[in-house]
Amino acid sequence: MTAEAALYIGKALCILAMVATAPAEAMVVKSAFEAIGRNPQLEASLFGKAIISIALVESTAIYALVAFFTL
Amino acid sequence: MNLSLPGDAPTISALVLEKIGSFSITNTMTSSLFGDAVLIILCLVAAKFTVRNPGKFQLIIEGFLLGVSSFIEQIIGDKKAAWRVMPLVTTLILFILVSNLVLFFVPILSGFTYNGMTMFRSHTSDINTTAALAFGMVFLSHVYSIHATNVVTHLGKYIQFRHVILSFFKGIKKGIMASVEAFVGILDLISEVSKILSLSLRLFGNMFAGELLVSVLMGMLAIGLPLPMMILSLFSGTIQAIVFGALVAGTLGSIAKEELHKQNKFT
């Protein structure tokens, strides 16, 4: 295996971060929607919090992206 | 007809426009100066607002400030502590917001070139800016913590020898529990370092990914296709500014609460 091939395999492994982050984001959205469904008055206060927690969860994918480009 | 616009994909390090001695001026720096100028003009205008005759612009600015302050109050959960950290956090949010959005709202800027290099690039897409911001904020939180309590109490949060020894005198079981807590304290020390990393990489990664995605899509099809991604990066730029502010507010707010608690105890 040449060094270049190893590099590309490493980059492909970085993409695998999505396997975990996509379900994680879905879980955040799911529980937020469930809470709104149970108590619709919560919508105004939950929206901002849900957006922020999604951004926090997404940051793990961003770390993988940074690793992807620094490889 | 050529429908694609293949340009240079942005690199992680910013382009060096000019060198003065060993000091290099990069294209993120010029846009940072531009953003600062916008903010300073905004401040000078906002300082002249009067209560008697509020215009539309004043209402927008005041509405923004009210929104941010109520948001910080929501995070910290204590009005007095929230007002202690509000000026800093609002400044941070404004600075990051302006730096993320200045290239969208002043579209002419991205057309300027200097020696064939683009002159302006949003400065949060340079890791130096975000790392400096994150390091500054974490450093400030330690200084504030020492100021709020004292050096011994602050270090005691991380290294808990005294607590462990005292607990062993009370009993073996309590001593073991205390040593587990002491281990968690040492882990906190590591988390302080990783906090700098995560704060800086989150902001940098989001902005850089937005730029890169747009430039890749420009190379595929320049008409219409990059537009949704540009809107998405506009959105994520706003969200990331708020997230950065929220995380800093959370860290500083807990220290401000401690300080207020201590003051209330003595008076």
CATH of domain A3-70: 1.20.20.10
Mean local confidence (pLDDT), B19-42: 86
Q: What is the pLDDT of residue B169?
A: 83
Q: Is the pLDDT of residue B236 over 90?
A: no
Residue B157's pLDDT is what? 80
Q: Determine how β-strand B16-20 pairs with β-strand B23-26.
A: antiparallel
Report the share of chain B in percent with pLDDT over 70. Answer: 98
Is the Cβ of A44 closer than 8 Å to some Cβ of chain B?
Answer: no
Diameter of chain B by CA atoms? 84
Helix, coil or strand: residue B55: coil
Give the number of A-B residue pairs with CB atoms closer than 8 Å.
38
CA distance B197 to chain A (A): 10
Per-residue model confidence as pLDDT tens digits over B52-81: 878 888 898 889 888 888 888 888 888 888
CA A62 to the chain's CA centroid: 8
Residues of chain B numbered 195-254 and touching chain A (CB < 8 Å): 198, 201-202, 204-206, 208-209, 212, 236, 239-240, 242-243, 246
The answer to whether B236 contacts A55, with C-beta atoms less than 8 Å apart, is yes
Return the pLDDT at B1.
64
Q: Is the pLDDT of residue A30 over 90?
A: yes
Q: What is the mean pLDDT of residues A29-49?
A: 87
Per-residue model confidence as pLDDT tens digits over B187-214: 888 888 888 988 888 888 888 888 888 8
Cα torsion A36, A37, A41, A43: sign: positive
At residue B266 the predicted structure's pLDDT band, cuts being 50, 70 and 90, is low
CA distance B105 to B190: 40
Q: Do A62 and B246 touch (CB under 8 A)?
A: no
The H or E element containing residue B39 is helix B27-47
Residue B210 · residue B233 · CB < 8 Å: yes
DSSP state of B19: E
Mutual angle of helices A3-15 and A43-70, in 10-degree steps: 170
> Using the beta-carbon criterion (under 8 Å), do B201 and A62 form an inter-chain contact?
yes
Residue B202 identity = R
Distance from CA of B93 to the nearest CA of A (A): 14
Residues in chain B with CB shorter than 8 Å from the CB of A59 are: 198, 201-202, 205-206
Using an 8 Å Cβ cutoff, are B56 and B81 in contact? no
What confidence category does residue A48 fall into, taking pLDDT thresholds of 50, 70 and 90? confident
Chain B residues touching A56 at Cβ < 8 A: 243
In terms of CA atoms, which chain A residue is nearest residue B68?
Answer: A48
| Band of pLDDT at residue B41, cut at 50, 70 and 90 | very high
Report chain A's mean pLDDT, rounded to a whole number: 86
pLDDT of residue B168: 81
Alpha carbon B173 to chain centroid, angstroms: 43
What is the reported pLDDT for B117? 77
Band (pLDDT 50/70/90 cuts) for residue B267 is low
- Opening angle at CA B111, ends B106 and B116, nearest 5: 145
Q: Where are the domains of chain A?
A: 3-70
Which whole number is the average pLDDT over B230-234?
87
pLDDT in tens, B111-149: 777 777 777 888 888 888 899 999 999 999 999 999 888
Rg from Cα positions in chain B: 23
The residues spanned by each domain of chain B are 16-266
B130: CB partners within 8 A, 6+ apart: B124, B199, B200, B201, B203, B204
Cα–Cα distance between B114 and B71 in angstroms, integer? 41
Most A CBs within 10 Å, among B11, B243, B247, to test the A interface: B243
A26 pLDDT more than 90:
yes
Whole-angstrom distance, CA of residue B179 vs CA of residue B115: 62
| Mean pLDDT, residues B151-163 taken together | 81
